[in-house]
Amino acid sequence: MVHLESVYTYAGKQTVSGNDPSSNRRATAAMVAERAQVSRVAVSRAFNPNASIKPEKRREILRIAGELNYTPDMAARSMVTGRSHLVGVIVPDVCSPWESQEIDALTSALQNAGFATLLFKTRTDYRMDETLLTYMRGFNPDSVITFTENVRPRTLARVLDRAVPIYVCYDDDDTTDATDQPTDGPLFDRLNVIQKTGIEQGIALIQGQGARRIAFISGAAQSIASTERLRTVRAVMARRGLGAPLLIPGDFTYDTARRAVIDQFRIQGPVDAIIAANDVSAFGALDALRHDLGFAVPGDVRVVGFDDISQAHWKAYDLTTVRIDLAERVAALVRLILRRLAAPDAPSLSETVGTQLVVRSTV
């Protein structure tokens, strides 16, 4: 038994100038429109999977386009319009649960807005990869999304001219003021993430259950999201008279968190509750507590995660966690991109997304 699963290789495929043996030159959209007795806009819509058009009309236009050997050519179109309809996405890895769920949502949202996602992998230390950015520029993306931290607009401008960056801002504890803004670039947009709400709910819940000795498993050292989560945990705990959290060094992975929790408990003794910088670290903590150390959760130790990835509801973990609404976050990001593309000179734009606690069985 033999089945086609997956790959079509364009061996000797036709180029833009057309080397198809059945035709000396490519047909134009106008030729298809004329033959199909529709407008050129209708032809364009027929080829856009996200455009609304009657199915039978689309079929007819595509049939005629097939007869004439017409395909819209994005490269040629981008030469004319200055828009490639490509968005570059640069990620350290595609396979971590949060990243994969974010890329999934982002690809859907971009595709619905008429953009294709150009995916690149980069180093995992969150530093800006200038060589890769420069390489990617060659594909003329309309926008670039990259998981980079701490790059100032001036540095960025060396590599990408005329780019308007979007800053992800964690304005949890009111230290945000004008002096903290990156002022060395002419223009930037903001995606505000309010982490405080969910973290306050989580800490209130574990405090209500009597937890006093509380540890925080950090994410990768370079991650601003993790640093900001810790800062907010610290601020909320101080405000509630809980002292400072114990620090357990993690890196967002299961194995590191599990090992670090075992070390923490064996060397410095147990804690009443653990807050993790992401759900995967919380899973590592749960397995360390239950399987390696023999503690009951939530009886002996309470565990709170961060993200609410889809695995958090799996019964073996059933994790209480601070939820970031991924669909909402991605929709806000894509709105910012589209608004900026539509109005290159508009003043600074912003969108805001929140967090909230999802209570399951680990607290």
- Rounded-to-integer distance, Cα 344 and Cα 162, Å: 9
Q: Which of 32, 33, 64, 136 binds a copy of itself (CB under 8 A)?
A: 136
Q: Which is nearer to a copy of itself, 32 or 207 (CB)?
A: 32
Q: Does 323 bind a copy of itself (CB under 8 A)?
A: no
Per the structure block, which two tokens stand in for 245? 């959290």
# binding residues, a copy of itself (CB under 8 A)? 133
**Inter-CA distances, 360 with 297, 298, 302, 304, 319, Å:** 12, 10, 11, 9, 5
- Asked whether the bond before 298 is cis by omega within 30 degrees of 0, the reply is yes
Q: Does 137 bind a copy of itself (CB under 8 A)?
A: yes
Question: Which of positions 105-124 make contact with a copy of itself (CB under 8 A)?
Answer: 107-108, 111, 116-121
With contacts defined by CB under 8 A, name the span among 195-203, 224-232, 243-251, 295-303 that binds a copy of itself: 224-232
- Rounded-to-integer distance, Cα 58 and Cα 83, Å: 24
Q: Does 332 bind a copy of itself (CB under 8 A)?
A: no
- Rounded-to-integer distance, Cα 356 and Cα 308, Å: 10
Q: Does 47 bind a copy of itself (CB under 8 A)?
A: yes
- Rounded-to-integer distance, Cα 298 and Cα 29, Å: 64
- Tell me if residue 357 falls in helix, strand or coil: strand
Q: Look-up: residue for tokens 């114990």? A: 246
Q: Closest distance between a copy of itself and the C-beta of residue 217, in Å?
A: 16
Question: Which of positions 66-85 make contact with a copy of itself (CB under 8 A)?
Answer: 66, 71-79, 81-82, 84
Per the structure block, which two tokens stand in for 241? 């008279």
Q: Closest distance between a copy of itself and the C-beta of residue 241, in Å?
A: 25
Q: Which of 42, 64, 129, 256 binds a copy of itself (CB under 8 A)?
A: 129
**Inter-CA distances, 330 with 26, 104, 133, 324, Å:** 38, 10, 22, 10
Q: Does 48 bind a copy of itself (CB under 8 A)?
A: yes
Q: Does 207 bind a copy of itself (CB under 8 A)?
A: no
Q: Which is nearer to a copy of itself, 37 or 131 (CB)?
A: 131
